[in-house]
A and B are shown apart, each in its own frame.
Chain A
Amino acid sequence: MNKKAEILVVDDDPDIQDSLRIILESNEYEVRTAANGREAMEELEIRLPDLMILDIMMATDTEGFDLAFKLREKPEFKNLPIVILTAFLNKVREEGPGKFEYILGEQWPAHWLLEKPVDSKKLLAKIEGILGES
């Protein structure tokens, strides 16, 4: 378990950003944040994180999806683990499953799909699980 792993948190809600940051940093992860798709791409280009936590619905309904798709198109990002958070599980399910299969590989039904509000213990356990495997 690489405790110095770097996690990119992408969410347009500053409160969520802050909460996650505090939780992750006290578990010795390095945290960067981005508030929208564009910033996320910038961060990704600067340096690839070990894992990305992505809010699937940000300013617009499809922003998170679009970003995830874009990432999967590019070879350098294809294998980046993504944990998807959403406050709107129904809506997300309506859009999926096709989209999710594509985004998450064979992981649908997603072990990596979490609904807000997220139990921090479960989130940490998930992250450890994912990073432990890679």
Chain B
Amino acid sequence: MDATSMETRERCLAEDLSRRKRVILRELKERSFWFVRLRWWVPPSIVAGVLVARLMGFEFAVVQLLLVAAFVLAYNIVFYMLSRAFKEEPLREERRFYRFAYEQVALDYAAMFLLIHFTGGAASPLIFFFIFHIIFASILLPPRSAYGFSALVVAGMGTVALAEYLGWIPHHPLLFQGRSTDLAQQPLHMVVALGFFAASVFISAFSTTAIMRMLRRRIRDLGALSESVSILNERLHALFSMIEAIGSAQYLEQVLPVVTGELGNVMEVKGISVKLLSGDGRFLRYAAAYGLPEEFTGEKEVEVDKSPLNRRIIEGEPYVTGQVTKKELFQFGEALAAAQIRSVLFVPLTVEDRVIGILGAYCVRPDRFSTEDVDFFRMAAGLVAIALESARAYEAIEQLIEERSWYMMRVTHNLRAPLAAMLSMIELVRGGYLGELNDEQREYLRRLDRRSRTMLSMVNELMTLVESRSEKGKIVRGPVDPVMIGNRIRRTFEDEAKEKRVDFKVVVPEDLPPIHGDAGMIEQMLENLVSNAIKYTPAEGYVCVNFGRATQTVCIEVSDTGIGIPQADRSKIFDDFFRAENARIVEGHGTGLGLAIVREIVDKHGGRILVESEESLGTIVVVHLPITRQEAVDSSQIITQGRANQSGNEKEKPKAGHLARMSNPFRRVGRKGMFRSPDEGAAAGFVWGLPQGAFG
């Protein structure tokens, strides 16, 4: 028997011990402990009483009384230690508790009789204290025992009275000023007194037991109420968790395990299954199975026509049975029999009157599912259906976005070759290879070159952006050395900055931790930022790149003394194709995509970007990127083939509404990262984001 069925067994046992009994036992436990605590008062009270009585002039058997006090103290200490041990006991052992209660009551009676005997026996004023004992016994013990004890008390007192009268036991009278308050001399008085005593004893017993009975009933009801409230609460909570799971995850592989797991837990069943109907309505296929053995689900397909049970459910009727038969089991699969399922519950999954599948619950206990269970399960089925539909919707949307991306990529792809040819030919003419040029020709060819290069930039940047937002833009994370990035940026831009007479500095402290991300993307992002900085900073200005450390991130600050960003445009600079007016004046032909790419990369890394700027003074852009943590390094994600759940710290939770930038952590092959060496960059003569020709 595997672990899960053991658990189920235990859970069932606990449930069998009826709730009511549990509540009563709990109460009993508490009361017995309370009496132990109460009893601590008795020895000191006896001692005090003795002292006071002596002071007032009564004479009686002091020593014996003190011994009784010591006796009470002694047995209460024992009870105290026993109660400590009992505190940890589970509520299963009811017999032990009852015995504990009886022991207490019995010893109390013994002590009481002793006290009475030593203060005058049948004539002792203390006999009325028996009332307390009766009351306590009625509280602690079942009614029959309470009456039993009452009878014992009366009989006991009667016996003591008789024994003393007949002289069988010594008489310890209570003497006051030499005169005895002894009623033993007048038997009739004794009998009457005892009669009233008996009456009060029984009346107390009766009243207390009646009250206790009422109390117990109330407590039982409250207990039942609180149990059902807590069950409801658990179920609500489970429904809520299911809703949360649905809301925060997009894909069936994420949602269904969570949802079926929650459901399985809250209903305390062995397994939950989700079967989906095929498009043509002829087959049912398992989409998820929690708690069920592998062979049970897998690739199994059930033909609806061959299974009347399934057909009925699809037609809308839930199916419940507490004693599932072999024949039924067969319809659900032989492996179910092996798992010893006895109760099953199936409800249809419907979306807008259309049945899309079946939700099932399986339990090893017979007759497990009540009407409330069926109702709750139907609610849960509603949620599961929503989850399924929304997952499908997401997939459809993603599909559309993919198609759009693919289309855009093909278009931009195809534009590059002709553009490359155009630029080569322009260069040919400009280089004088086809003859000398006059000034006008030179000028117009220069403009032609500029515009064409702008076009090429646009095409390149669009490709980058579209690719980044689609399947292929998968980020490959690993530790990235800030020093290396800093050096490459410096090498890439130092010549250009020098040509423009802009003071360019890159500062990387030695002890920075590695950044957790994609080296190629980070470099690309910085290139775009630095290129902008240099582009929009007039000669004699400065551009500075500072790497630093914040609490959980590495921060990279790119600051310049350039034209700045106007207040009104601040919120739009990261938008696709946006160009600020003052930027347009300096550089007429920008693509407006550089910062969109930067934002895309920062988002992918889970970082932050902050911009501060003042027109005509300058701009500071600060990017925060997460650092590599040791655990993150090990589960450092690489490309996954097929759809697999991503474990570890990096669970990207795309939010609904950000459909345009849905980065998909769960699909196929991604880009293997951009490899760029500085020489290569130089040789290619091409820098992303920078329209060529601007400086030469």
Using a CB–CB cutoff of 8 Å, the interface residues on chain A facing chain B are 13, 15-16, 18-20, 22-23, 26, 87-90, 93-94, 97, 109-111, 113-120, 122, 126
A24 to B421, CA, bound (A): 16
29 residue pairs bridging A and B, Cβ less than 8 Å apart: A15-B425, A19-B427, A20-B424, A22-B428, A22-B434, A87-B419, A87-B420, A90-B463, A90-B467, A93-B672, A93-B674, A93-B675, A94-B671, A97-B675, A109-B677, A109-B680, A110-B680, A111-B683, A113-B680, A115-B685, A116-B420, A116-B423, A117-B423, A118-B424, A118-B685, A119-B685, A120-B431, A122-B685, A126-B683
A111 to B681, CA, bound (A): 10
A124 to B123, CA, bound (A): 132
Residue of A nearest to B675 (CB): A93
Q: Is the CB of A114 within 8 A of B683?
A: yes
Q: Is the CB of A26 within 8 A of B421?
A: no
Task: List A contacts of B240 (CB < 8 A).
Answer: none
Task: List A contacts of B417 (CB < 8 A).
Answer: 13, 87, 116
Task: List B contacts of A15 (CB < 8 A).
Answer: 421-422, 424-425
A11 to B496, CA, bound (A): 32
Task: List B contacts of A22 (CB < 8 A).
Answer: 428, 433-434
Q: Which of B650-691 contact A (CB under 8 A)?
A: 671-672, 674-677, 679-680, 683-686
Task: List B contacts of A110 (CB < 8 A).
Answer: 680
Size band of the B side of the interface? 20 to 34
Task: List A contacts of B434 (CB < 8 A).
Answer: 22
Q: Contacting B416 at CB < 8 Å: which of A20, A87, A94, A97?
A: A87
Expressed in whole angstroms, the minimum distance between the Cβ of B366 and any Cβ of chain A is 60
A117 to B459, CA, bound (A): 13
Expressed in whole angstroms, the minimum distance between the Cβ of B276 and any Cβ of chain A is 37
Expressed in whole angstroms, the minimum distance between the Cβ of A9 and any Cβ of chain B is 12
Task: List B contacts of A18 (CB < 8 A).
Answer: 425
Residue of A nearest to B682 (CB): A122
A90 to B676, CA, bound (A): 11
A126 to B686, CA, bound (A): 16
Q: Is the CB of A23 within 8 A of B680?
A: no
Task: List A contacts of B521 (CB < 8 A).
Answer: none
A114 to B420, CA, bound (A): 12
Q: Which of B384-414 contact A (CB under 8 A)?
A: 413
A13 to B420, CA, bound (A): 10
Task: List B contacts of A87 (CB < 8 A).
Answer: 416-417, 419-420
Which residue, A87, A97, A113, has most C-beta atoms of chain B within 10 A?
A87
Task: List B contacts of A97 (CB < 8 A).
Answer: 675
Q: Is B383 an interface residue (CB 8 A)?
A: no
Expressed in whole angstroms, the minimum distance between the Cβ of B467 and any Cβ of chain A is 8
Task: List A contacts of B416 (CB < 8 A).
Answer: 87-88, 116
A114 to B679, CA, bound (A): 11
Q: Contacting A117 at CB < 8 Å: which of B420, B431, B671, B680?
A: B420
Q: Is B534 an interface residue (CB 8 A)?
A: no
Q: Is B68 an interface residue (CB 8 A)?
A: no
Given A16-B420, A16-B424, also A89-B675 (CB < 8 A)? no
Q: Is B456 an interface residue (CB 8 A)?
A: yes
Task: List B contacts of A90 (CB < 8 A).
Answer: 463, 467, 674
Which residue, B421, B463, B671, B672, has most C-beta atoms of chain A within 10 A?
B421
Task: List A contacts of B419 (CB < 8 A).
Answer: 87, 117
